Structure 1
Amino acid sequence: MDSEISKYELIATMKKDIQTFMDSESMLYLKKDSYSTEEYDRMLTEVKDALKTRLLQK
């Protein structure tokens, strides 16, 4: 079985990952009032790093 992923599968995966990231960022933003600015920035950085790691693994 070929382990390469088609460009369409890659685009679909990236689209899903970006949507997940945006949903996460929106959720963090909506809850921002309950977090300090430093805590919000830390969580957002972790979400961005996780997305970057996933995209690099593809």
Structure 2
Amino acid sequence: MSENVAVTLELKQSQIDYLDQMVQKHSLPDRSKVLRCLINFAIDESQNEESIYCKTRCDHC
């Protein structure tokens, strides 16, 4: 398993709220674990990149 690397991100409050909800709902240790799960999902679903990255889903994208 590789080592985690610290990064700085800019997020909207609603995105932070979502991460916090997922921490609670899935008993995850912190927001960074939620983000790693989401990134790993996107990697696993690379055949669906257009669906993941090209569709506008919100007002703050």
TM range (shorter): 0.3 to 0.5
Q: TM-score, normalised by structure 2?
A: 0.34
Greater relative contact order: 1 or 2 (C-alpha under 8 angstroms, separation 6 or more)?
1
Going by fraction, where is helix more abundant, 1 or 2?
1
